[in-house]
């Protein structure tokens, strides 16, 4: 029987993201998954409020940070992985297919000197790779579709599924970002739903459907039975048609062009220029126009 890690979620309201501290109750070793670096797009201000909240929780629990993990390069918030590494010394990891995302966005940002080899992270996880969190066995599942690089971390009886499945009342994640595919997403979700029924599913976002309180935990059985997409669209063709129709109606995330230049660089902000200030680079007319 899989061991059960202690899982604590931290909801970040600005982007609807959930950050996780996942701990082995026997050893106190923990992983921080998908941490958020605060960013206000109107002022350009950055902060570490969310990351410091997590560090304080880790301190009060007496945990030791073994890993800082991102499930994929996020399009709606900055990763705090680099900041947390500087504070804890823990290695940062992500799925090995991040190099494909780096190659794509290197061209979009016209970065000829950018290292698109994943070397910004301490470890790139391969599909099926196994590791330990304290005394808890862990496995990495490649789960593309939302992005080329998305992975699921299966830690004991808990699966951190990022942006594949949302809570059952909210369905599934979009698949129309550069490198995304609704066909591929279908197969990734099927692999997740093939995990044992009692596997706890922890999603990467929640948008408080119908005005309810934020929520982020379900089970494989609950997802299979009640997810508004997966319980309704029972074939790949049905799912793809519905997912692509829904995606055509969605605006691009407001921070996608800001975030990818940070998150393809392991959460590192741009280097300061000669005047000591950092600058983001926004390509114009790259993504779908809202007037199209």
| DSSP code of residue 267 | T
> What distance in Å separates the CA atoms of residue 131 and residue 108, rounded to the nearest whole number?
34
Query: Of 3, 34, 28, 270, nearest to 147 (Cα)?
Result: 34
β-bridge partners, 93: 69, 123
* Residue 89 CB neighbours (<10 A): 9
| Per-block mean pLDDT, blocks of 10 residues, the chain (292 long) | 89 96 98 98 97 98 98 97 98 98 96 97 98 98 97 98 96 95 98 98 95 97 98 98 96 94 98 97 88 71
Supply the pLDDT for residue 171: 97
Domains of the chain with bracketed CATH: 6-263 (3.60.15.10)
Supply the pLDDT for residue 19: 98
Chain-centroid distance of CA 42 in Å reads 23
β-bridge partners, 152: 141
Supply the pLDDT for residue 289: 75
Backbone angles phi, psi at 65, to 5 degrees: -75, 115
> What distance in Å separates the CA atoms of residue 143 and residue 173, rounded to the nearest whole number?
12
């Amino acid at each position: 029987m899989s061991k059960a890690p202690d899982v604590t979620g931290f909801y970040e309201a600005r982007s609807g993201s959930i950050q996780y501290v996942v701990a082995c109750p026997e050893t106190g070793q923990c992983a921080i998954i998908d941490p958020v670096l605060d960013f206000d797009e109107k002022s350009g201000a950055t902060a570490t409020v969310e990351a410091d909240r997590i560090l304080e929780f880790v301190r009060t629990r007496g945990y030791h940070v073994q890993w800082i993990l991102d499930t994929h390069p996020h399009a709606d918030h900055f990763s705090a992985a680099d900041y947390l590494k500087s504070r804890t010394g823990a290695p940062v990891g992500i799925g090995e297919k991040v190099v494909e995302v780096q190659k794509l966005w290197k061209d979009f940002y016209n970065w000829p000197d950018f290292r698109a080899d994943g070397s910004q992270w301490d470890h790139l996880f391969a599909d099926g790779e196994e590791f330990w969190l304290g005394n808890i066995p862990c496995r990495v599942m490649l789960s593309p579709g939302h992005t080329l690089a998305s992975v699921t971390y299966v830690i004991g009886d808990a699966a951190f599924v990022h942006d594949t499945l949302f809570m059952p009342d909210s369905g599934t994640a979009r698949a129309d970002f550069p490198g995304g595919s609704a066909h591929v997403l279908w197969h990734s979700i099927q692999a997740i739903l093939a995990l044992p029924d009692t596997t706890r599913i922890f999603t990467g976002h929640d948008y408080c459907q119908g005005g309810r309180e934020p929520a982020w935990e379900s089970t494989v059985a609950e997802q299979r039975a009640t997810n508004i997409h997966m319980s309704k669209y029972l074939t790949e063709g049905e799912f793809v048609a519905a997912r692509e129709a829904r995606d055509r109606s969605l605006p691009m995330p407001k921070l996608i062009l800001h975030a990818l230049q940070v998150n393809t660089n392991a959460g590192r902000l741009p280097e300061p220029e000669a005047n000591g200030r950092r600058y983001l680079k926004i390509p114009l007319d790259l993504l779908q126009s809202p007037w199209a």
